[in-house]
Amino acid sequence: MQSSAFSSTSAILLLSVTVLLCSTAAVGGRLKLGNNVTVAGLLAFGDSIIDPGNNNNLKTVAKCNFPPYGKDFMGGVPTGRFSNGRIPTDLIVEALGLKEYLPAYLDPNLNPQDFLTGVSFASGATGFDPMTSKIVSVLSLSDQLNLFKEYLEKLESMVGEERKDFIISNSLFLVVASSDDIANTYFDTPFRRAEYNIDAYTDLMVNSASSFVKALHGLGARRMGLFSAPPLGCLPSQRTIGGGPLRECAKKYNDAAELFNSKLSAALDSLDRELPNSTVLYIDIYNPLLDLIQNPQKYGFEVVDKGCCGTGTIEVSILCTKLDAVCPDTSKVIFWDSYHPTERAYTIIIDALAQKYINKIFAPKQHA
C-alpha cells in the first residue's frame, strides 16, 4: 500500500510548527477543556463512520467518492466521507480547535502539516473481526496499525523523536468499529454463524478490540476512546432486512449490539486500570443515537426510518449514486443513506459526547 508523499522542503518548514490547545475554548467556543489540558492531535482508526476517504483508491465496493455523497461538504465535494457532509472526526477536531476537518492518511494530496495535528486511518466496512475487512477488500485494523507505524516514522523524521513522543502521548486516539462485524459479517452473511453463536462472536470482537488497544498503547497512545456499537437494528438498512413488513427496529441486531457493548465496556474498564499512565474510555454512542430515533421531534427531525438517498431503505455506498434523488432538506432526516447519519445528526451527538467524555480522557490518572 502506497501512502501519501510530501516534499522534504515542506517537512523542513514544519520543524517549528505545532498546533496545541491548552485550557481554551474550541472554535466557536463549543468545547471547554480543563486547566492544564493539552490536546496535540486526533488519530482515528476504524470503519466508515470516520473514514474520510482512505477507501477511495482501494478495489472495493465500500467507497463513496462520488455524488451525491459530500453534497454539503466544501461546496459539494465527494471526498469519500460516508455522509452528506462532515463526519464525527471532523466535528471533533473542530471542537478541539485543531483544524476544520480530519484528513485521510492515504489522501494523495495530504498536507504534511496535518501530521502534527492528526489524520484518520479508518477504512469503511472494516471491523474488529479480521474476516470483516476481507469480505469487501478494505483495510483491516492490522493494516491501519501498520500505516500508523509508517506515520510515526515520518512524524519523527519531521520533528524529532522527543517532539513526536509528545504529540503522540498528548493526542486523542479514537477507535470506531463493530457495526460491520455484527450487521454484515455475522447476521447478513453466512461466514461466522456456523462457527459462533452471538455470545462467542461478541467475545471474539471484544478480544480483538482489547488487543488493538494494547497495540496502540505499545506504540505510544495514552488517551484512547472507543465507540460502542450503535442501535444497529434501527438503521434503515437493518429495518429493511430484519424489521418485518412494517420495517420496525430489528431486535436481534440491537440485542447483539447491547451484548457487545456490555462486554466492551467491562474490557475497557479493565484495560484502563491495567495499562500504565493511560486512559482507556468506553464511549456510549448507542443511547444518544437511539434518543434521536425515538424522540425526533425534540431535535427537529421528521424522518427516522429512511435515508436521504433514493428510497432510503437500502441504498448505501455504490447503491447510492448521482442518479438517485435525494431529500430536499437533509436537516430533517437522521440518516443520509441507509447506514450512515447526516452531518446534522452527527453534530448533535458529537456535541453531547465531547462535553461528556473529552475531559475524562485527559484527566490525570492516579494509577501507575
Query: Residue 34: what pLDDT?
Result: 63
Query: Residue 270: what pLDDT?
Result: 98
Catalytic residue among 51, 180, 181, 337: 337
171 is catalytic: no
Q: 223 has which bridge partners?
A: 279
* Mean pLDDT by groups of 10 residues along the chain of 368 residues: 38 32 36 72 98 98 97 94 98 94 97 94 98 98 98 97 96 98 96 96 98 98 97 98 97 98 98 96 98 98 97 96 92 97 97 87 66
Query: Residue 331: what pLDDT?
Result: 96
Question: Taken in order 190, 191, 192, 195, is the CA torsion positive or negative?
Answer: positive
4 is catalytic: no
Phi/psi class of residue 310: alpha, beta or left (left: φ > 0; alpha: ψ in -120 to 50)?
Answer: left
| Residue at 261: amino acid letter | N
Q: Note if the bond before 68 is cis, omega within 30 degrees.
A: yes
Query: Residue 4: what pLDDT?
Result: 40
| Alpha carbons 248 and 261: distance in angstroms, whole number | 22
Catalytic residue among 48, 133, 178, 179: 48
Q: Is the entire prediction scored with pTM above 0.95?
A: no
Grid cell, residue 45, equals: 482508526
Q: Is 255 helix (H, G, I), strand (E, B) or coil?
A: helix
Query: Residue 23: what pLDDT?
Result: 31
Catalytic residue among 107, 140, 178, 340: 340
Which residue's C-alpha cell is 437522521? 334
Query: Residue 63: what pLDDT?
Result: 96
Query: Residue 329: what pLDDT?
Result: 95
48 is catalytic: yes
Query: Residue 21: what pLDDT?
Result: 33
Query: Do residues 71 and 81 lie in contact, with contact meaning Cβ atoms separated by under 8 Å?
Result: no
For the chain, helix (H) and strand (E) counts, in that order, are 13, 8
Query: Do residues 284 and 307 lie in contact, with contact meaning Cβ atoms separated by under 8 Å?
Result: no
Q: Which residue, among 338, 324, 318, 342, has the nearest Cα to 241 in the 3D structure?
A: 338
| Alpha carbons 254 and 295: distance in angstroms, whole number | 17
| Residue at 35: amino acid letter | N
